[in-house]
Amino acid sequence: MRQAKEQKRISPKETIEENEKYYMRIWLLRLGFGGAEGKEIRELLMKKLKGNSAFRTEENKQRWQEARRNEREAAKRQEQAPAEQQAAELADAVLIEQVNQSFDAEE
């Protein structure tokens, strides 16, 4: 009842969506079957439905996967940057030491 009172827009047209699981999950969440306590009920009711419960369209799923892939690659680059920087600093220190030794040898 609360949802019916709070609903801003409704459509009398019946829509048949390809992704049954997603729309069922959204409806169950609106009815109050959210969180860990509603998880078993949601799984039971959506078990035989087709589609993906997390993404409305395949395009949304691919966009999310691409974003996660980019995040993982950025994290990898960030992890590698300190190692590369340390290697460069070590190479600089070795070069400076060699130059200093060559000056000391000339004197």
| Cα dihedral 47, 48, 49, 50 sign | positive
pTM of the model: 0.57
| Residue among 19, 61, 62, 48 at smallest CA distance from 27 | 19
Would you write out the chain's pLDDT as a tens digit for each of its 107 residues? 676 677 777 777 776 678 899 999 999 998 999 999 999 999 999 999 999 999 988 999 999 999 999 999 998 888 877 777 777 888 888 888 887 777 777 66
DSSP code of residue 47: T
Rounded CA separation 40/33 (Å): 9
Kindly report the number of other CB atoms within 10 A of residue 21's CB atom.
20
